[in-house]
């Protein structure tokens, strides 16, 4: 009886082709270019950016801030989000900064911002029950242009909101569920 020569299984060949086309070739491209192409979806870019740090030089830095309105108070006050996001796993940027730069600024992120606003109001209430409760939260942002001629000194920290420049509001104001009725809501 003669033995048939060894031949790879079709599934093994398909797996090897998939590995080359979906992983090895894109990794080589990312390594050669110094980062994933901006045209790739953000989740796919993260798959090919091993460290997820400094893939491409940025021309600007977006800075995000939280403002709140408290019961029986007029106007908006700045809320120091660092009190609620103490870890800085992304250099000197907190998880809040990372969340807002990745997801919070998108037009379809209303639900995520609403949940974050309600969580901030509940955490503020639990942290100091004597303080007037938060009835509304709004997220604002600005861009700081990175100037190669005048780079920032020292470690980068987000400046206080009053010093950061012109702001834009992200999405709608988040009215906290146990806040005022719709008749009492005035921006």
Q: What is the pLDDT of residues 16-35, one digit of tens each?
A: 999 999 888 888 888 787 77
pLDDT at site 171: 79
Residue 181 confidence (pLDDT) above 60: no
Compute the 3-state secondary structure of the chain and give helix, strand, coil in percent, each to the nearest 5: 35, 20, 45
Residue 179 confidence (pLDDT) above 80: no
List of E strands, the chain: 60-70, 77-79, 134-145, 168-175
What is this structure's pTM? Answer: 0.62
Residue 141 confidence (pLDDT) above 80: yes
What are 181's two structure tokens? 């009725």
pLDDT at site 102: 74
| Closest alpha carbon to 77 in 85, 65, 64, 86 | 65
User: Mean pLDDT throughout 101-112?
Assistant: 76
């Amino acid at each position: 009886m003669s033995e048939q020569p060894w031949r790879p299984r079709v599934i093994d060949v398909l797996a090897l082709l998939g590995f080359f086309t979906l992983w090895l070739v894109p990794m080589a491209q990312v390594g050669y270019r110094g980062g994933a192409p901006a045209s790739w979806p953000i989740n796919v870019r993260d798959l090919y950016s091993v460290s997820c740090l400094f893939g491409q030089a940025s021309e600007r830095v977006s800075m995000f801030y939280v403002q709140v309105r408290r019961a029986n108070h007029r106007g908006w006050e700045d809320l120091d989000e660092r009190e609620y996001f103490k870890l800085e796993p992304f250099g000197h940027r907190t998880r809040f900064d990372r969340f807002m730069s990745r997801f919070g600024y998108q037009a379809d992120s209303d639900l995520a911002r609403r949940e974050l606003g309600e969580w901030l109001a509940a955490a503020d209430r639990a942290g100091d029950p004597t303080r007037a409760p938060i009835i509304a939260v709004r997220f604002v942002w600005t861009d700081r242009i990175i100037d190669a001629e005048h780079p920032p000194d020292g470690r980068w920290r987000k400046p206080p909101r009053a010093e950061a420049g012109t702001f834009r509001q992200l999405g709608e104001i988040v009215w906290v569920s146990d806040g005022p009725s719709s008749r009492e809501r005035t921006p």
